[in-house]
Amino acid sequence: MKFLWTTIQVGDMEKSIEFYTDLAGLKVLRRFNAGPDMELAFLGNGSDGETLLELAAHGESSPISYKSPVSIGFETESLEEMQARAAARGIAVTRGPVETPSGRFFFIEDPDGFMVQFFQH
């Protein structure tokens, strides 16, 4: 069995796409309406067989609120550079940096409050 994607519900598709393309370096691979009041965007690096990030926006739905410890993680070459990029966009580090035996990481939140981790080996 192959893991295909992770779906994140978003309140503002444009803000979320900007966040994930600008900070995580993902590309919009497909974007389309999936019915009345629903838009989907699949993001990734364009690598064959990669796991994708699916953003789902539901028209006039209620605001999105993430209050669980679920997160997604991205590897970065330089934790300091990624922190500086986030800070330049007014995005605060919510946890970290934390040292582990295999590397260092910190967390920020996407436009809807979903936790995003950046990890450096």
Q: What percent of the chain has pLDDT over 70?
A: 97
Mean pLDDT over 26-43 rounds to 94
CATH number at residue 76: 3.10.180.10
Domain coverage including residue 21: 1-63
Mean pLDDT over 24-44 rounds to 94
Pair 86, 44 in one domain:
no
Which of 63, 82, 113 is a domain's end point?
Answer: 63
Mean pLDDT over 27-46 rounds to 94
Q: Where are the beta strands (DSSP E) in the chain?
A: 5-10, 27-33, 39-44, 52-57, 71-75, 95-100, 103-109, 115-120
Whole-model pTM: value is 0.90
Pair 10, 30 in one domain:
yes
The pLDDT tens digits of the residues spanning 49-93 come to 899 999 999 876 666 777 778 899 999 999 999 999 999 999 999
